Structure formats: C-alpha cells, structure tokens
A and B are shown apart, each in its own frame.
Chain A
Amino acid sequence: MYPAVIHDYRRPKSVQEAVKGIADGGADAVFIAGGQSLMQALKVRLVQPHALIDLQDVAELKGVRFDGNVRIGAMTRYVDLAAETRLAPAYAALLDAARHVGDRQVRNRGTIGGSLCWNYIAACMPAVALTLDAAMNLVSGRGGERRLQAREFIGAPLETARKDDELLVSLELPAPLAGAGSAYAKWSLVSDGLPVIGACVYVELEGGSCARARVGFGGLASGPRRSPAAEAQLVGCKVGDDQAVARAMAAAAEELETQGDLWADPAYRSHLIRTLGAKMASAALLRASGQSATT
C-alpha cells in the first residue's frame, strides 16, 4: 500500500541537472514523470528506488513544437497532447490515444514520455509511437545523446532500450504529410480501461489510394508489434474499400501471436485485431482523404 523508504528526492530544473541527478544516484535512482504508472509500482513495492528524480520543473521537456519536424516533449501531459489539434489528421492517432488514457484525472498528470518508458503491456502510447515510427531522443548522464526509432526503443512489456542513466527528452515525428492520416482505438472490458488490444493504423494516400501504411497493435505479451503483412496488403487500398481492409487485418491476425488472460482468450484477441484493426484502417483512410472519422 505504501512505498518502501525513499532516501532522496530531487527536482532538477534542466535536462542537464536531471541526468546529473541520475548519474549521481546510480542504479537506484529513477525518474518520476506524471507518476500515474510509477506510483502504482512504488506503492506495491515492485520498484524500490533509493532516489527519485522528479522531472516536473524541467521546462525543456514539455510542450509540442511544430517547426519542420514535430517534437513532443517527453513530459507533455495527455491532456495537453489531446488539445494539439495540429497533429491531425496525419498523427491523429496520438490524439485518439491521449483522449482516452485512463480517465481525466490520469490525463491531467500522465505523460507520453512516462508511458513510453514504462511500456506497460496494456498501454496506448507505445503502440502508437511504434506505428507512427516516431524517433526517441535520449540524453545520458555522461553527456551522450542517442536517437532511436520506436521499433528499436520499445521492447517486451516493461522493457525499453533506455539505459538506467538515460533521460527520454522528446519524441520526434517528420513534418505531417498532406494525404496522411492515422487512427487509434483500444478495446477493454470497461470504458477506456487498459487495452486488451489497441489498434493503430497510419496511411499515406497518393492519388486516392494508399501508398504507404503502418499498422501496429498493443496489448500483446510480446510487447507492441507492427504487422508487415497488413501493411503490405493495405497498399493500393482506397477509402471505403472495406473488403481490402478486412483482408489486411485478417493477415495481421494470422501474423501476430496473441495470449489469453482474464479478459480475452487468444482467439478473441486475434478477432479484435481483425475488427479493431479494420475500423482503424478505415478511419485512417478517411482522415487521410480529408474527411473526419471518430474512433
């Protein structure tokens, strides 16, 4: 119920100070962002850090910048991300996810960076970042910088490529393309609950048909996964081509291994990949063509 004893708490004002704090703290220092996942882990004593480095005052980590690329600070809260309508339609999947994580109290504190670094099995942001092929910018205590693509960064549940002394500073996406659209939705037993399956689709239309597609799913025991088979089959798809979309998602369900748990057996998870995936593909295509679509 209560965290184990914590010996040190720091509130750095800059990225430099933050990574220094982690370097000083050694292996037993952890960053705390919004705390909506980490606090659960602390309270159940799954994580028992010696020191906490609180990122709330590091201004450089907050906010979304559109200058050429899109740069989303790791400490950007869901509530703020959800308001960034300029992300639509190309990166609307981020808005879909940000608007439905947990509940509004969680969205007032939880951050995209926290979600990515925790990479919980049932989380939305990792699946979306993977599908949008975002780049992660990391800074380490020893002064180094790294840039990893999402597929290199995001691993199995609760694992990422981030080293203990690295700070995720931002997520980066290329400037949104005209004719691009994306969508994300999850299914859970209760409304907006932790996803049993989360489906994300990103498409680029050229001349009215899909030129490039990325399809990703969260809620899998392996960690979030893209589906190359689905992506290949979406190429050439047009808006409203439900049959092609269904075929593509059937391929995804074939390709991806699903697990059973209290909420769904493997067959139903696969079926959710088909149905949710199809809905998201249709929505992404609509958005890419300039129309609106709800998820």
Chain B
Amino acid sequence: MSTQTVRITINGEVYEETVPIRMLLTDFIRERAGLTGTHVGCTYEGVCGACTVHIDGEAVKSCLMLAVQADGHAVTTIEGLAKDGQLSPLQRSFNEHHALQCGYCTPGILMNMAEFIEKHRNPTDEEIRHALIGNLCRCTGYVHIVEAVREAAKSAAAT
C-alpha cells in the first residue's frame, strides 16, 4: 500500500485525506487543501524558501517534508497569517514599505519572518539579513524587506 490516511490541521481546519506516502506537504497544502499561497520555486534542493509554512508554529520548508510527516500536526500557511480578516502588523509593514514586487517569494518570507520577529525583538539589520538566508528574492534586492521587518519587529517589541 503506497498510501496512508492523515489528519493535518491547516490554519485551524482539520483535513483528513488519504494520500500517497510520497506526496510532498507542499502539494497537500496546494492541492488537497486548495491553499495556493504556498509556492514552489525550486525542484528538490529546498533552497528558495518560497514554500515556507509553520509546523506547530515554527518556520519550515514544506517541500522538504512529506505530507505523512505532518500527520497530527498543525500547519499554518500564509492564508492563516491574518486573523479574522485583519492583516498582521508584519503584512501591513510589507505593504507600507513596498517589500514585495512579484510576490512569489513573499508568502515564504512572511511566514519565516513572522516566526523570527516573535522570537527576536528589535533585531539588527544584520540579524534580519541572516534570518532571511533561507528565502531567495529576485525582485526587491531585499532592501525594503529588511526595512519592513525591522519596523514590524520594533512595533511588535513595543506592544
């Protein structure tokens, strides 16, 4: 039997599906749950970070996981970042600082940075840039992204 039944919670909603064991978590999210905000930017190397989601609150690359590994866990995707239709301060900061252009890498960056600023209040620009190593962006040159994260982290620290 090359399939298995899994229960994966995504953005608070439980998905019970029978999946091929080899199915990537990214494909489960995009196809079984229909949440296409999580993107695929590389083949198998897992370097680009566009597929970044949270597993139990921690940023991971969903293309480097099988859906079966997420069985019993809680996944948060970009669609789950806003709460009750309200954008998170980080999302608002990205809009305010023009921290995205084509938007393809953006969900992965937002998911990574959402965890990062929770764990690091008032990061320096160097720390932010280091934390962004796992997310490639081609359009922005990272300058506005760093600004947006820094400002969001500051206001998160202030609250």
Contact partner of A9 among B21, B55, B130, CB < 8 A? Answer: B21
How distant is the Cα of A55 from the Cα of B74 in the complex, in angstroms? 18
Residues of B within 8 A of A103 (CB): 49, 133-135
Number of interface residues of B (CB under 8 A): 32
Of the listed stretches A33-41, A172-180, A199-207, A276-284, chain B binds: A33-41
Question: Do the beta carbons of A40 and B21 come within 8 Å of each other?
Answer: no
Question: Do the beta carbons of B2 and A105 come within 8 Å of each other?
Answer: no
Question: Do the beta carbons of A5 and B64 come within 8 Å of each other?
Answer: no
Identify whether the interface residues of A are mostly helix, strand, loop, or mixed.
loop
- Whether A192 contacts B133 in the complex (CB less than 8 A), given A52-B21, A105-B59, comes out as yes
A236 in contact (CB, < 8 A): no
How distant is the Cα of A5 from the Cα of B131 in the complex, in angstroms? 35
**A295 CB, min distance to chain B CBs, angstroms:** 14
Question: Do the beta carbons of B134 and A104 come within 8 Å of each other?
Answer: yes
B92 in contact (CB, < 8 A): no
Of the listed stretches B7-15, B29-37, B40-48, chain A binds: B40-48
Contact partner of B130 among A1, A5, A192, CB < 8 A? Answer: A192
Number of interface residues of A (CB under 8 A): 31
Question: Do the beta carbons of A40 and B45 come within 8 Å of each other?
Answer: yes
Question: Do the beta carbons of A104 and B22 come within 8 Å of each other?
Answer: no
Contact partner of A109 among B20, B21, B64, B135, CB < 8 A? Answer: B64
How distant is the Cα of A56 from the Cα of B60 in the complex, in angstroms? 15
How distant is the Cα of A102 from the Cα of B134 in the complex, in angstroms? 7
Residue of A9, A109, A191 with highest tally of chain B CB at under 10 A: A9
How distant is the Cα of A8 from the Cα of B4 in the complex, in angstroms? 8
Tally the A-B contacts, defined by beta carbons under 8 Å: 94
Question: Do the beta carbons of A105 and B69 come within 8 Å of each other?
Answer: no
A108 in contact (CB, < 8 A): yes
Residues of A within 8 A of B24 (CB): 2, 43
- Fill in one digit per residue for A1-37: 1 if any B CB lies within 8 Å of its CB, else 0: 1111111110100000000000000000000100110
Question: Do the beta carbons of A6 and B134 come within 8 Å of each other?
Answer: no
How distant is the Cα of A32 from the Cα of B65 in the complex, in angstroms? 10
Contact partner of B64 among A4, A6, A11, A35, CB < 8 A? Answer: A35
For the complex with contacts A6-B20, A7-B21, 16 further pairs of A-B residues with Cβ separation under 8 Å are: A1-B44, A3-B22, A6-B2, A6-B22, A42-B44, A43-B44, A44-B43, A44-B44, A56-B69, A103-B134, A104-B59, A105-B112, A106-B46, A109-B60, A109-B61, A191-B133
A-B contact pairs, 8 of them (CB 8 A): A1-B43, A3-B66, A9-B68, A35-B66, A39-B46, A56-B69, A79-B58, A102-B134
Residues of A within 8 A of B (CB): 1-9, 11, 32, 35-36, 39-40, 42-44, 52, 54, 56, 79, 102-106, 108-109, 191-192
Residues of B within 8 A of A (CB): 1-2, 4, 20-22, 24, 43-46, 49, 52, 55, 58-61, 63-66, 68-69, 71, 112, 116, 130-131, 133-135
